[in-house]
Amino acid sequence: MHAWSREVFSLPADAPLTSIKSNFINSLLPQILRTPILNRISFLQRSLDSLDCEGLAKLVEVSPSADLDLTQPTMEDWVSFVDMFLSPKHQIHSGFSPSNLRYHLLAYLLSATFKDCSLIIPLHPNRADTENSSIKVVDLETKSVDRIPRWLKLDRKIVQEYAKLETTMRKPCVE
């Protein structure tokens, strides 16, 4: 059965499409508000991406070539990074310094993973069946180091296009 069908929302066959939209929102909103998952993902996106793509590129530029480790992280690298990120020593390694390049590289890649994940939200959750009625986070494969130059190029293009807008058309970034 199609997710947007009138039957899914127990609507008459001649119900207007606007009622499907309304019922869809009414079905999703309580689940989204009940779970902390969106706040957690948002926190991880922001806290892991403290430099953004441009800051990471600047850090690579100022790093001595001997310190450059732009290899794809191993599972051991990820475990070590997560341990460091969750530890009180996190502040020591999160400063803008060439010696922290690898830390920022891994943080950026992990942030990109959380920016690209997907959510599966059941339309009619059955509270008794917690396995099949909870929101699922999927598509959590870590991103490749090789994608960073493409993201930097895309980021620069977005900034250039945004700069072309009249200042009255620009919207301020709000946390």
Distance separating alpha carbons of residues 38 and 44, to the nearest angstrom: 10
Give the end-to-end CA distance of the chain in Å, rounded to a whole number: 39
Q: Dig out the tokens for 153 from the structure.
A: 């190029």
How much is the pLDDT for 5? 63
Is 0.85 topped by the overall pTM? Answer: no
Element containing residue 78 per DSSP (H, E):
helix 75-86
Say if residue 2's pLDDT is above 60.
no
Q: Which residue has the higher pLDDT, 27 or 58?
A: 58
Banded model confidence at residue 161, pLDDT cuts 50, 70, 90: very high
Return the residue matching tokens 């942030």: 111
The answer to whether residue 47 scores a pLDDT higher than 60 is: yes
